[in-house]
Structure 1
Amino acid sequence: MSSMMRVAVVGSGVTGMMSAYVLAKEGIEVVLYEKDDRLGGHANTVTVNGTQLDIGFQVFNRITYPNMMELFESLGVDMEPSDMSFSVSLADGKGCEWGTRNGFSSLFAQKKNIFSLQFWKMIREINKFNEDGKNYTEELDKNQDLDRNETLGHFVRSRGYSDLFEKAFLIPTCASIWSCPAEIMSLSAYSVLSFLNNHHALQVFNRPQWLIPKHRSQGYVSKVKKELEQKGCQIRTNSEVYSVLTNDEGCTITCKNGSEEVYDACIIAAHAPDALKMLGNQVTLDESRILGAFSYAYSDIYVHHDTNLMPKNRAAWSAWNFLGTKDDKVYITYWLNAVQNIKEKGLPFLSTLNPPYEPEHTLLKWSTSHPVPSVAASKASAELNVIQGKRRICLLEEGGTIFTFEGSRKTNTLKVSLRIHTPQFYWKIAKESDLGFADAYINGDYTFVDEKKGLVNLFMSNELFSLFLDDTMAYSCAVFKTPDEDLKSAQLRKINMLIDKARVSQEHHVLEIGCGWGSLAIEVVKRTGCKYTGITLSEQQLQYAELKVKEAGLQDQIEFLLVDYRQLPKGCKYDRIISCEMLEAVGHEYMEEYFQCCESALADNGLFVLQFISIADEKYDEFRLSQGFIKEYIFPGGCLPSLNRVTSAMATASRLRKIMALGFDDKFIRTWEYYFDYCAAGFELRVLGDIQVYICP
């Protein structure tokens, strides 16, 4: 984009502000319109009796919201832990009542539930629902042709969940998020389960640590505003946009105050009904059909001190509280003291959505709305590309991403899944926290489960890479003798170093994991006359490499396979394995599995030579949990390993049968596995470098 390009952003909720921020950073002239007298949208901080409260407060965590974390850290926004405990109180406290804030004392706030088979069944069903939800969304994500029109009600009832699970867990959980209890069971199962999975809301305990801005949401809004002003962004508050009209010349923004201005493009960061009003008579049939499919739940929010709108049993009190009356009215009360770390000096600060009556000691009232993940909205979301970016207009949802439900399509977030083998796992965690977690692993109470395929993408055209690579087409670090040496000579030196370290001879069968465009294959066979097999996931690389091998007349000795390292031919052993800068694309979660596959494929007395770009050990955890340009745009899912991470993964994947032959049992091995992982973060080793590892049994 030209630096002279002018873009209007309509709406200053979190999405509008971030859009303006990103554009302004790129040198684009931005004008930000906001109908209210403040920026922030739902990020609304008020002062009550000298105490700052977020009434449209937001919470976030490092796993689900990596982009927000990166932004906050770059702006210097101070953060602190938040309490995201949850409770349910039905029939004015005379029905089922339970919570999560204080472990078992909250879970069994009603002591009779300890002996209730129905209640214990509900707890088991929560765990089952967690697993069913993950499997369901994973299957739909894998196959875009599958039907996504199933409702949540059909999903639950077709799988035999109990009425108590539905009334005392599922509806309260969903209603606390979307504020539309009457519609919950008719919502899109896929949209709801995707959101709940990504936000870890399908589990009662052991959720990720949630955070809030230490100085409330207006603290970060002020920082973003300052950054925008410093980058030349014009901020126009009290400027409600009446219409957004486009033609070949540009995009005309007209405000209710009569002002009118023309821009090159416009971003509308507002609710769908508001966007449709702005588009007016120019709205297309597709825009009307797709945007018209989104519905919203409208809520009145009261900030007050009325404890009658909390669970009857104080032991059940939690940060989020779903309450139902005898006549089936429902409402949600947030205990702001718990959520926002406010010390109680008197009556608690409470915020209730749609209470059955006006609370006593009401401090203020506010109205808001949220998108509802209906089946129609889910269908419309899948069609947004039809209207997105057309007519110089980009349509975003206030407070979310492009009409996805605040995280339901986030990618590259770090997740760990456990398969629980015995209920003892939960008891150990409840009693002993991290030591219980270690003990549970050592005793095999749980195992780690892959959630992703972990396959690597390097599918861009060969022509693109040829623009910046030399004739060898080697896309990895070269070894230069002098600063002015040509790249091809340096790459051939690197290739020959790998061959030398592998000690390849004519009788050997060499496997290269991540063969690229075949430069090492041709060189090693020419030098030694060995047999060679290379694997890749890129069809473009495969076609190029096979052509080069044919040109060299080496096709009888060289074979390329379009497979993942986990799909190597069963029973085939290789005398030498070479892998050059493929490890970075494996990812943190799959490191042990990678080395296990290598160990299985390596012949007795074989050698394994590995080259990888590394990061300093002391920076590894911070790096792998962060988002950055390379991880976001170049190698999604990749992770630069540290030397210590690699050696610990090698240790885990090394000759297990030799250890077992010494008489050590599985518990002993798991103890040492846990010990290695526990100690890895404390080792102080080297800085960023490019490492070749020579491995032999």
Structure 2
Amino acid sequence: MRVAIVGSGIAGLAAAHTLQGLADLTLFESGDYFGGHTHTVDVTLPDAQGTPTTFGVDTGFLVLNERTYPNLLALFSALDVSIAKSDMSFSVQADGAGPGGQTLEWSGSNLSSVFAQRRNLANPRFLRMLADIVRFNRITSRLAEKGEDLGEHSALLQPLGDFLREQRFSDEFRDWYFLPMMGCIWSCPTDQMLAFPVATMVRFCHNHGLIQVTNRPQWYTVAGGARQYVQKIVEGIADRRLATPVRQVLRDPQGVRIVTDGHVERFDAVVMACHSDQSLRLLGNGASQNEREVLAAIRYQPNRAVLHTDASVLPANPRAWAAWNYQRAPSADVESAQVCLHYLINRLQPLPVTQPVVVSLNPQREIAPTQVLGEYAYDHPVFDLAAIRAQARVHDMQGQRHTWFAGAWTGYGFHEDGLKSGLRAARSIIDTHGLVPVEGGEAARRQALPGVFA
């Protein structure tokens, strides 16, 4: 059986890895590297002795934990990919929000970093924010523990903006903590986040331990860069095609035709492991009504990532430095501004240099060209109410007209979600077509991820 996989992000790689030995696979990737949002870039900088040292820096996917990434950890274990402890500390810079119009700076790493600016010990607005954080954690933990009820009139479908107003959370909490944290998680403007249903925030934050004061999960990163796992999966795919954009996917009763530049090839099935809007564009007029409605409901936020060594974008007070450093827009219209976030890679990954290495998402000012190491574009799904409702309909599309859909857009937008969707698509193909290993049956089963053949 011939199976085409369109897209080499974690969803496509998971599907390909699971189908190895069971089908004749072809992996199509339009870009110049495999991995999608897993993008490790080589950087050369002087080490402590001044010797130029080359190492990998992740500019997209960065961290995982044992509680909410079990399938990804199982994959890494199966591939013998090493992980290292990481840091998920968080800081906020808010221009003009401090006393006398100065910049407010604080970090959640420890008590000293919370009060990195010692004057905040006597700042009633700052203390009100801290009190609201405690109250917010208590309220949302209670919602999470009650379980999910996503019926048409569920309180969990209420927009976050309405939820904050009804619960009387302060502006300080909203602007100096809540929206920065949400921006760091979903990489989209705050006006979009305020339209998210409460369920999106509660489910994710509860699962990831972000609304707990104690017993938070340990976070990890891939030692040497996340491309380690990408390379190991791709090496096992005989027909892998880089810089080969799919232009059209045509379906008929016999199967699928994949159209690339100058070529048309027939397959028995296709896994659309790309963004939902890309899938819709490739299906074109051949998309069913259900496919059009579901795929069009997921919107995306374009983000610009700059890899550089300019530490001046971090908080002016080094006590407030963190792994994730949010910078609030200085303009009055902060809600529509793109999220600005500076990842201090030295805190997130073990690097062989002490010089700060930073990935800035949508930097508010241009980084000096002499300090720029690379620039990349990433699109992130927007999980508003329309998206949440569309996700519930994805299952009905799977396997229709020889087509399966996979991607992080089917879940929370994160690596584990993309991986699980790729596993589900592959498992469905296996079950639908009764696939069995062509040769070396037991070996093929052992290579599969835990649970895939359960």
Q: 1:253 Cα shift?
A: 0.9
Q: Aligned runs of 1:675-686 on 2, under 5 Å?
A: none
Match of 2:197 among 171, 188, 191: 188
For 1:385 and 1:96, the matched residues in 2 are separated by 46
CA distance, structure 1, for counterparts of residue 346 and residue 213 of structure 2: 21
2:5/2:270 contact within 8 Å kept: yes
TM-score by length of 2: 0.83
3-state SS, counterpart of residue 26 of structure 2: strand
Which residue does 1:660 correspond to in 2? none
- Indicate yes or no: 2:23 matched with 1:16: no
Q: Structure 1 residue 246 and structure 2 residue 255: aligned?
A: no
1:466-525: CA deviation from partner (whole Å, max 9, x where unpaired): xxxxxxxxxxxxxxxxxxxxxxxxxxxxxxxxxxxxxxxxxxxxxxxxxxxxxxxxxxxx
- Give 1:172's aligned amino acid: P
- Once the two structures are superposed, what CA deviation does each residue of 1:182-221 show, in whole Å capped at 9, x if it has no partner? 3221122211221222222234665311111102011111
Q: Provide the C-alpha distance between the structure 1 equivalents of 2:257 and 2:384, rounded to a whole number of angstroms.
A: 33
2:435 alignment partner in structure 1? none
Shift of 1:168: 0.9
Could you tell me whether the CA contact under 8 Å between 1:7 and 1:30 is conserved in 2? yes
Give the counterpart of 1:364 among 371, 374, 383: 374
Residue of structure 2 in register with 1:34 after alignment: 29
Give the 5 Å matches for 1:529-544. none
Partner residue in 2 for 1:349? 357
In structure 2, distance between residues paired with 1:246 and 1:140: 41
Spell out the pairing of 1:251-330 with structure 2 (5 A cutoff). Answer: 251-255=256-260, 257-327=261-331, 328=334
**Residue pairs, 1:120-199, within 5 angstroms:** 120-139=127-146, 141-142=148-149, 144=151, 146-147=153-154, 148-182=156-190, 183-199=192-208
Decide which moves more: 27-36 or 165-174.
Answer: 27-36
- Which one has the largest radius of gyration? 1
Is 1:115 paired with 2:110?
Answer: no
Q: 2:398 aligns with which of 384, 388, 391?
A: 388
1:461-472 alignment, distance < 5 Å: none
- The letter of the residue matching 1:351 is V
Which stretch has the larger CA shift, 379-388 or 91-100? 91-100
How well do the aligned residues superpose, as a CA RMSD in angstroms? 2.4
The answer to whether the Cα contact below 8 Å between 1:45 and 1:55 also exists between their aligned partners in 2 is yes
- The answer on whether the counterparts of 1:381 and 1:404 sit within 8 Å (CA) in structure 2 is no
1: CA distance, partners of 2:398 / 2:164: 34
Q: Would you say the 8 A contact 2:41–2:56 is kept in 1?
A: yes
Structure 1: gaps of 5 or more residues: 413-626, 635-697
Distance 1:633 1:19, change over 3 A: closer
Q: Is the 8 A contact 1:78 1:213 kept in 2?
A: yes
Tell me, in whole angstroms, the C-alpha distance in 1 between the residues paired with 2:213 and 2:55.
Answer: 31
Checking the alignment, whether the CA contact within 8 Å between 2:159 and 2:196 is kept in structure 1 is yes
Distance (Å, rounded) in 1 between the aligned partners of 2:16 and 2:175: 42
Are residues 12 and 143 of structure 1, via their aligned partners in 2, closer, same or farther at CA, if it must alter by over 3 Å?
A: closer
The superposition leaves residues 598-649 of structure 1 with CA deviations (integer Å, 9 ceiling, x where unpaired) of: xxxxxxxxxxxxxxxxxxxxxxxxxxxxx954xx897xxxxxxxxxxxxxxx
Q: Does 1:54 align with 2:62?
A: no
The CA distance in 2 between the partners of 1:362 and 1:205, in whole Å, is 38
Shift of 1:144: 4.5
- Partners of 1:195 and 1:407 within 8 A in 2: no
Please report how far the alpha carbon of residue 137 of structure 1 lies from its aligned counterpart in structure 2 after TM superposition: 4.2
Partner of 2:442: none
CA deviation after TM superposition for structure 1 residue 271, in Å: 0.8
Percent sequence identity over aligned pairs:
32
Aligned-pair CA distance for 1:315: 0.3
* Structure 1 residues 58-94: Cα deviation after superposition (integer angstroms, max 9, x where no partner): 2101111001111101111011001111001101672
Given that residues 94 and 329 in structure 2 are in contact (C-alpha distance below 8 angstroms), is that contact kept between their aligned partners in structure 1?
yes
Change (3 A) 1:40 1:381: same
Structure 1 equivalent of residue 432 of structure 2: none
2:39 paired residue number: 44
| Contact 2:2 2:268 (8 Å CA) reproduced | yes
Displacement of 1:402: 3.1
The alignment's TM-score, normalised by the length of structure 1, stands at 0.55
Write out per-residue CA displacement over residues 544-582 of structure 1, whole angstroms, 9 at most, x where no aligned residue.
xxxxxxxxxxxxxxxxxxxxxxxxxxxxxxxxxxxxxxx
* 2-structure distance, mates of 1:316, 1:204: 19
SS of structure 1 residue aligned to 2:210? coil
Post-superposition offset of 1:312? 1.6
Asked if the contact 1:82/1:210 (under 8 Å) is kept, the reply is: yes
